[in-house]
Amino acid sequence: MKVQIPDFPGLPDRIGRLRDFVYNLWWSWNGDARELLRSLNPVLWDRTDHNAVRVLRETSAERLRICANDPDFIRLYDSVMARFDAYMSSRTNWYDSSFPAKEPFQFAYLCAEFAVHGSLPIYSGGLGVLAGDTCKEASDLGLPFVAIGSLYPEGYFRQVIDADGHQLAMYERFSTTDAPILPLVNEDGTRFLVPVPVGNREVKVAVWKTQAGRVSIYLMDTNIEENEPWDRDLSARLYGGDQQVRLRQEIILGMGGVRVLRALGCQPSVFHLNEGHAAFAGLELVREQMRNGTSFEEALEATRTKIVFTTHTPVKAGHDEFPFYMMEEYFRWYWEELRINREDFLRLGQTPDGNSFSMTILALRTTGGTNSVSQKHGVVSREMWHFLWPERKIEEVPITSITNGVHLPTWLAARFQSMYKRHWGPDWIHSHDEATLWERLAEIPDEELWAMHVRSKHKLLGFVRERARQRIMAGATSPGLTLALGPLLSPDALTIGFARRFATYKRATMVLEDRERLKKILHDPLRPVQLVFSGKAHPADEPGKFFLAQIFMACSSPEFGGRLAFIENYDTHVAHYLVQGVDVWLNNPQPPKEASGTSGQKAAINGIPNCSILDGWWFEGYNGTNGWAIDGTQLSDAQSAAALYDLLENEIVPCYYERDEKGIPRRWIALMKNAIRSSAAQFSSRRMLKQYLAWLYQPVCRRASETETAASS
């Protein structure tokens, strides 16, 4: 198998390696590589939201020739290519150094969505961002890692808000020629296809490949002429369609994912199922084992030595369930092949009420190791799934906790990375998961850190104003709509950010509970405050869309005087500006429903103190010196809102506006440094992935080895 790389007419030979380079998203988390691509065409770079493939394709041949003859560009080009080559070929990465005599393991990561970069819009939110960060970190550490998911040509939806605050979901098919993906073809140039049984028929899957450094991510696509029209649309949208579509998508992801990996020659030691969407992979592995003559019980036990599973939410809607009649329609043939009856098959995923088949329960019954995504989420999950292990005490339910982390090179502002490089040398990034490194923040002058933050804040507000200008030019003529887009935001006001999915349990509207008190806080003439909101509601989530409309209408209301703003179409591109540019990160979910909340981690590593309910990661991240905890565990929404207003009036606002004779907020900067110091190592994806390796991957591999040894003897 090979990839089919298109030509870029007019690309000079001297910089010809860019033809391959733009398809490896390593450039997206390396500042010098981004600067190289930006310098090709700065205007196009900004206009395309940093889409390297489009920049290279749409830059004129004349401009490319100028770059190829520019000594400064060539110097940067040669430097980036040399560093990229060293990275890709290095055998001195952490994994090889830590396990020099290791067995030839391979870890396969299955997930419904991947957010590696915004130019590949096949994600909706936190699950995809975590998957993208995991792949990048696996590459940086040198893990033998491969990932597989689905290509959604229409991706998730593009959000537009009308003048009445209604969310409009716009589905637009993205151009595969403009995305950092390449089709897999056979040696004779024909398309590489893998058949996947879906019910009583066969669906063919084409495969695309994107590269995240050393990690290959394979994306399955059913939109090919060999399939029937209804199957061609099967992979069109992420989380789109009815239950029938969702079930068929998850058959493709789980069973198809295993079959594609096998067709590619991959023999993973561990299959990591990131959420229950991929749980049918377990059934496919059982089927493989039974082809070797084993019984169903033996095959199921052998499968448990190959699977680890991450559960992500305590919210019921986050766990897919399908009615039994639908499972019978698609799996009657399958349980016959497994040589079990209908009742035994359905029992693998049967919910406590006996009426549905749960993907999470299937994953829990077929896994060799399960984790939650924060310590508190672990407590909630062990109680939630205790009925599967009734003979055990709740605290002995086999679900461990590995708290989510974020890929620091992706989410830490480039100016901060340059600052650390100046003070600590170029190798600081290789030890960023060591807490001792961050004690050296004392070496960074307050004035320098504050100047870096102010620049990030100005960049955010410039981005908001440009977005507003573009929307106005496109016809946003309503005064209220224009006001909501944020053109009146001030760089001198304390700026609070709230950006996440608009699920009702996240309580976006809580801050509006007492509008008069909020207005008093916002409109203080000497100490003004402003809030920036962003986020999408699922198209089928009517209560979530209602919450969003309430927020948007408040942003468009003259009573708030432009101190509230909403950024449309929240994605990773918008998120970078927000988590680096606001002054405070707000999060006020209904506990204990926040499993992790990695957006707050992204803000914290950029020196943005969190103000949050003690739930998810903040339950273990808050230490009293790095932000604020909202007392909301046993309180109503109104009481929690009052606690938030108290914090703003009595602690947050006074601290922010307290300045010395040089105009420097020393006490605030101490908070910023403590936010970084307490989060950069502890809540990094590097720490997270090392824990996955030590706590789940290696134990499962050892059990597999012990099982094989026992069987052979």
- What is the per-residue pLDDT for 235? 83
Confidence of residue 154 (pLDDT cuts 50, 70, 90): confident
Specify the DSSP element, H or E, that contains 651: none
E strands, 188-347, in order? 193-198, 201-212, 215-221, 270-274, 307-310, 321-323
Confidence check: pLDDT of 419 > 90: yes
Confidence check: pLDDT of 200 > 90: no
Identify the weakest region by mean pLDDT among 235-249, 294-308, 540-554.
235-249
Eight-class DSSP state of 696: I
Average pLDDT, the chain: 94
Q: Which string of b and e fits 150-167 if b means at least 16 CB within 10 Å?
A: bbbbbbbbbbebebebeb
Mean pLDDT of 265-274: 96
Domain ranges in the chain are: 2-86, 102-404+690-712, 435-474+484-683
- Specify the 3-state DSSP secondary structure of 366: helix
Neighbours of 391 (CB within 10 A): 5
- What is the per-residue pLDDT for 631? 77
- What is the per-residue pLDDT for 711? 61
Angle between helices 515-522 and 637-647 (to 10 degrees): 20
Confidence check: pLDDT of 713 > 60: no
Specify the DSSP element, H or E, that contains 23: none
- What is the per-residue pLDDT for 479? 84
Mean pLDDT of 658-664: 96
- What is the per-residue pLDDT for 102? 66
pTM attached to this predicted model: 0.96
Percent of the chain with pLDDT over 70: 98
Q: Is the fold of 102-404+690-712 the same as that of 435-474+484-683?
A: yes
The arrangement of strands across the sheet holding 610-613 comes to 564-567, 529-534, 494-499, 584-587, 610-613, 627-630
- What is the per-residue pLDDT for 416? 98
Q: pLDDT digits over 130-140, tens only?
A: 999 999 999 99
Percent of the chain with pLDDT over 90: 85
CATH H-level, domain 102-404+690-712: superfamily: Glycogen Phosphorylase B; (3.40.50.2000)
- Specify the 3-state DSSP secondary structure of 611: strand
Q: What is the CA radius of gyration of the chain?
A: 26
- What is the per-residue pLDDT for 472? 84
- What is the per-residue pLDDT for 708? 66
Mean pLDDT of 599-611: 98
CATH number assigned to the domain covering 435-474+484-683: 3.40.50.2000
Which of 576, 570, 573 shows the shortest CA–CA distance to 606?
Answer: 576
Confidence check: pLDDT of 238 > 90: no
* Cα–Cα dist 513/344, whole Å: 51
* Cα–Cα dist 215/227, whole Å: 29
- What is the per-residue pLDDT for 704? 77
Confidence of residue 476 (pLDDT cuts 50, 70, 90): low
E strands, 76-176, in order? 107-110, 145-150, 158-161, 167-170
Q: pLDDT digits over 523-568, tens only?
A: 999 999 999 999 999 998 999 999 999 999 999 999 999 999 999 9
